[in-house]
Amino acid sequence: MNVTRTQVGIVGGGPAGLMLSHLLAKQGISNVVIESRDHDTIANTHRAGILEQPSVAMLTDTGVDGRVLTVGDEHEGINLRFKGESHLLNFPELVDATVTLYAQNEVFIDLAAARARDGGDVRYESEVTEIFDLKTDTPKFRYRSVAEGADPDALQEVHCDILVGADGSRSFCRRAVRDEPGHQDFTTEYPFAWFGILCEAPKSFPELIYANSPRGFALISQRSETVQRMYFQCDPNTNVDDWSEDRIWDELQSRVAGPDGFELKTGPIFDKTVLPFRSFVREPMSHGNLFLAGDAAHTVPPTGAKGLNLAFADVRVLFEALDSFYSTGSRALLDSYSDTALRRVWKAQNFSYWMTTMLHTTAEENPFSTRRSLGDLESVTSSVYGRQYLAECYTGWPNSRP
């Protein structure tokens, strides 16, 4: 069996794993990244992305690429729309911050290119089969190539000082220690999903529109000047084949309609998907010398635009802990990693849950809960402090705080 020795083994080659690999390499800390998918599959898996300013800085200030500044679309606010009326929240005026619309697969493309440019050891189409010795000084994992023509029985092994699970919401690393004592999973399921489309059309509005309507939630998002991404709340069992283009546009328009006559700009739809979602947190985010980051440790509904930003925040905290460990020999920051990361995670969970429940409706909803949600929206938009709170949470908390 071929054995590789490295300082940090990273399972998962998405944005979180590649960003950690990039930061470690800049400090001379050797690492190997194992990813089950091939490069092109990840690069062409379209996922929306709202990046907070610290996330943008992690890409630009560390020498990944400046494409996020030239291709990304900086946004100065969002539009909360309810009762058919728009309420624009101006982030620079409220909290002196902006966000950048930049798809997650574009982030991956930039990071993958940076690792290739810098000679990073990223092994795509490699499936982890076993992790072990996590409570020793040399945690290990085995993997096999799943590339076409590869021998599925030919296992390889990686020995490292620290093992990082950044392998997404279906994390092999997390599941591998699920029966270990001292762990707890916190989960809440949502009774709705998002019906998402990509279409060829100009922007309907300069900023994103988050709409509460009697028919349910809608998000009018963007992808570029000519391609737009939009969503509407639906049943998780919805079949996209049951929805024609005309029916989709009628549904979206009904959810943003109002006395101001606002109309969406429409065009050919070339992608349709249903996205069920939930909130999940694993505590603690570590086990021996295994450390979880990103979706492997927690997921949030997309309403609060926190997913990728939380992953990058985990990476920042974990990188600082690893850098300290290798430069000083102290495990203090590694041992506090989970507690530090979880403080931000639960703040983000609270914000995402609040945004989701305030903007969505459910089949069981009664007139009281409907009016209460509208009261919540009225309270936020009519108060400068309410607008500031939402803006602060949406644009992200400073790195000096969890």
Q: Name the residues annotated as catalytic.
A: 75, 210, 302, 306, 394
β-strand 121-123 against 31-34: which pairing, if any? parallel
* In contact, 218 and 197? CB cutoff 8 Å: no
* In contact, 159 and 140? CB cutoff 8 Å: yes
Q: Which helix (H) or strand (E) holds 21?
A: helix 15-26
Cα-based angle 295, 391, 367 (whole degrees, multiple of 5): 85
How many contiguous H segments (helices) and E segments (strands) does the chain have? Answer: 13, 21
Residue type, 311: A
β-strand 155-159 against 2-5: which pairing, if any? parallel
- Structure-block tokens of residue 248: 């989709």
Q: Measured between alpha carbons, how far is 41 from 101 in angstroms, rounded to an integer?
A: 21
Those residues with Cβ within 8 angstroms of residue 399's Cβ, 6 or more apart along the chain or in another chain: 54, 313, 316
Those residues with Cβ within 8 angstroms of residue 155's Cβ, 6 or more apart along the chain or in another chain: 1, 129, 142, 143, 144
Between the two ends of the chain, the Cα-to-Cα distance in Å is 43
Residue in 292, 399, 311 with CA at minimum distance from that of residue 104: 311
Greatest Cα pair distance, the chain, in angstroms, is 70
Crossing angle of helices 384-395 and 367-382, rounded to 10°: 90
Q: Measured between alpha carbons, how far is 101 from 223 in angstroms, rounded to an integer?
A: 8
Q: Measured between alpha carbons, how far is 311 from 322 in angstroms, rounded to an integer?
A: 16
Q: Measured between alpha carbons, how far is 321 from 314 in angstroms, rounded to an integer?
A: 11
β-strand 184-200 against 269-283: which pairing, if any? antiparallel
Q: Measured between alpha carbons, how far is 390 from 386 in angstroms, rounded to an integer?
A: 6
